[in-house]
């Protein structure tokens, strides 16, 4: 998780926020404020250090903090080879084999079929 400023998008869902103020009180970067409307608001998103505290401690799951997409593509030597293998395997996995069981060699009267 990145701890640099301005790396995260902070979103508050007002319908779920009950205005307890925990997020605003404990945000280390002053990103959040409790307003007179009784809801928390994002006031300085660019200061967010993506610590995740607000999202973790909001009792009503009313905050989401998501890392911003960076425009820079990873160079080849930064790519995790395991992730590449997982990507290549996607879509090629035939999935669990269907268990067809043993063929039914008896008819409904219990007589053996040839």
| 5 forms part of the interface with ligand SF4 (CB under 6 A) | no
Stretch of 11-19, 74-82, 83-91, 100-108 lying at the interface with ligand SF4 (CB under 6 A): 11-19
Give me the long-range contacts of 44-47 (CB less than 8 A, separation at least 24): 45/6, 45/8, 45/9, 45/10, 46/5, 46/6, 47/5, 47/6
Least Å distance between CB 104 and ligand SF4?
Answer: 59
Stretch of 23-31, 69-77, 79-87, 101-109 lying at the interface with ligand SF4 (CB under 6 A): 23-31
| 21 forms part of the interface with ligand SF4 (CB under 6 A) | yes
Q: How far are the Cα atoms of 4, 31, 39 from residue 7, in angstroms, in the given order?
A: 6, 13, 24
Structure tokens at 107: 């008819």
| 2 forms part of the interface with ligand SF4 (CB under 6 A) | no
| 44 forms part of the interface with ligand SF4 (CB under 6 A) | no
Structure tokens at 71: 């425009």
| 7 forms part of the interface with ligand SF4 (CB under 6 A) | no
């Amino acid at each position: 998780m990145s701890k640099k400023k301005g790396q995260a998008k902070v979103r508050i869902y007002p319908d779920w926020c009950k205005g307890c103020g925990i997020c605003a009180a404990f945000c280390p970067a002053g990103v959040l404020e409790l307003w007179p409307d009784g809801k928390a608001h994002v006031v300085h998103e660019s200061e967010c250090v993506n610590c995740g505290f607000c999202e973790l401690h909001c009792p009503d799951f009313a905050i989401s903090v998501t890392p911003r997409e960076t425009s820079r593509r990873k160079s080849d030597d930064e790519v995790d080879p395991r992730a590449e293998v997982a990507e290549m395997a996607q879509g090629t996995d035939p999935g669990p084999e269907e268990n067809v069981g043993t063929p039914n060699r008896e008819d409904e009267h219990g007589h053996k079929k040839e």
